[in-house]
Chains A and B, each alone.
Chain A
């Protein structure tokens, strides 16, 4: 299949515009076109609830898709996903600790804790395995981090000072975009913006890494600068995603996979379509969980895992076949 990155991006952009429209209209209350005027009381639902939620889904999806594409390029491994390597769970542990200590009342402490958690996870991951360049070591270190931060999160739940704190933590962990406001957008936007800039700067070095680390270095890639940018970019993107929506897995794994055959394999050509595709996927999923006829809203994080689990399995089976 010939790659057409421009057409792919254009198609994704158009899809995204449609999905934004859908996301503003869809929900427990459907908002037909006649609600779209400032004099209609339903206008408030659009501006104060649907619009920030849509913005947040877009930002979080793009951040996760981009972080996944960058990590896959950096590790030269199509199975890499920020969620599988303990970065999301590191950010979640930070957020959970702030809920545990009751700091979440302040708008900036939960984000700060979550970002610190993500940064610590990424740094540990880089220190444990980054320098060797060994994928097996990196994956094992990631799994170890994932399970350690996961068990510490469980510990925080079991030791929660009040049942209210415990339930707050559990609800938050399940991942959702329910009841988000412009305040959440204002926090997520600059963090994700910085993360995107940092990852965009890695694009050409990731291409060079296609030829392996030795060849990339011989072409002038600075491995320490690259690692720093990746750690920073993925940490900021995933940290902001966790702050905004809790843990939402598999976006960073699935989206780069789906767009890779269409974008043509080069890691840099994958970054933009992965961001657009991630935003599209999350917007659609979030519109779906809102509109689904369930008593209480289906959690977005759970919906994505239900979608992503089988996808990952199918991917493994496919890879096993091509390796056999």
Chain B
């Protein structure tokens, strides 16, 4: 019963069905990429998995316990979310920002040794220790995204959910973030990441989940799921599929169909 799973998950938004009877099992130590066209329900799925949205039907279960019965802080200790927005409203320094990630763990009487150690580890894992005392406003886009990832890692969640963490990053920084996500999974956590880029998904994911109109089209290893037929069904496009020199699949959409 361990793991993060959904059973019969349905979400409706203003009369439209955003998620329709979604049942999934996610495993520890794996990266799952969630793919699908705009409006497929990717962000809603992530919100439900993070416990931020109460599904209209069905349940999300963490190690067999429905998320809805967990206290918010207990849930937050297990599940960390990296939102897409990347908002930082006040000009705090990097170390302070990363330390915010300890929120679900911290007691009433301030930081413990364990909190400080976790923050140090998270900053080292994302290579941001060098600018620990720099204000967040004086970071480049790539540095900033690493700092925000460090914030989530500081909470040492068993599950890391990331909503389009590659948006607005240049290719070098995209590879950088993907590497760190792989590192998090290698350390034993389950990583669920919403992506737009099929090729990045093919590179990073152990499993790919294809969503369309709130329903699961397929879930499995990239080689089984990123196929001409399934991508045509999901996106309505014809694709050319090839392999990179290191054996990783790549996909190029060539034209619309239907």
Q: Which residues of A contact B (CB under 8 A)?
A: 2-3, 76, 204, 207-212, 214-215, 217-222, 260, 264-267
Contact = CB atoms under 8 A, between A and B. Distances in A.
Contact of A265 (B71, B72, B85, B91): B91
B55 interface: no
Contacts of B50: 218
Given A204-B103, A207-B103, A210-B97, A218 B88 contact: no
Interface in B135-151: 135, 148, 151
A214 B77 CA distance: 16
A264 B50 CA distance: 30
Nearest to B163: A214
B71 to A, nearest CB: 8
Interface string B146-190: 001001000100000000000000000000000000000000000
Given A212-B85, A215-B83, A221 B72 contact: yes
A267 B87 CA distance: 15
Contact of A266 (B52, B73, B83, B92): B92
- Nearest 6 CB-CB pairings of A with B: A212-B87, A220-B76, A218-B81, A220-B73, A76-B89, A265-B90
Q: Dominant SS at the A interface?
A: loop
Nearest to A207: B100
Contacts of B75: 220
Contacts of B87: 211-212, 215
B92 A210 contact: yes
B80 A218 contact: yes
Given A219-B103, A219-B104, A210 B90 contact: yes
7 contacts: A76-B89, A214-B83, A215-B85, A218-B50, A219-B104, A220-B104, A266-B96
Contacts of B151: 211, 215
B197 to A, nearest CB: 22
A219 B106 CA distance: 11
B85 A210 contact: no
B106 A215 contact: no
Contacts of B51: 218
B115 interface: no
A2 B100 contact: no
B145 to A, nearest CB: 13
B133 interface: yes
B101 interface: yes
Between B92, B97, B148, the greatest number of chain A beta carbons within 10 A of the residue's beta carbon is seen for B92
Given A214-B83, A219-B100, A209 B89 contact: yes
A218 B71 CA distance: 12
Nearest to B51: A218
B202 interface: no
B89 A264 contact: no
A220 B103 contact: yes
Between A204, A207, A214, A218, the greatest number of chain B beta carbons within 10 A of the residue's beta carbon is seen for A218
B90 A267 contact: yes
A260 B135 CA distance: 13
Between A2, A211, A266, A267, the greatest number of chain B beta carbons within 10 A of the residue's beta carbon is seen for A211
Nearest to B133: A2
Contacts of B135: 265
Given A3-B93, A212-B83, A222-B72, 6 more contacts: A210-B100, A215-B83, A219-B103, A220-B103, A265-B92, A265-B135
A217 to B, nearest CB: 5
A218 B81 CA distance: 6
B9 interface: no
Contacts of A267: 90
B79 interface: yes
A264 B133 CA distance: 11
B4 to A, nearest CB: 14
Nearest to B79: A218
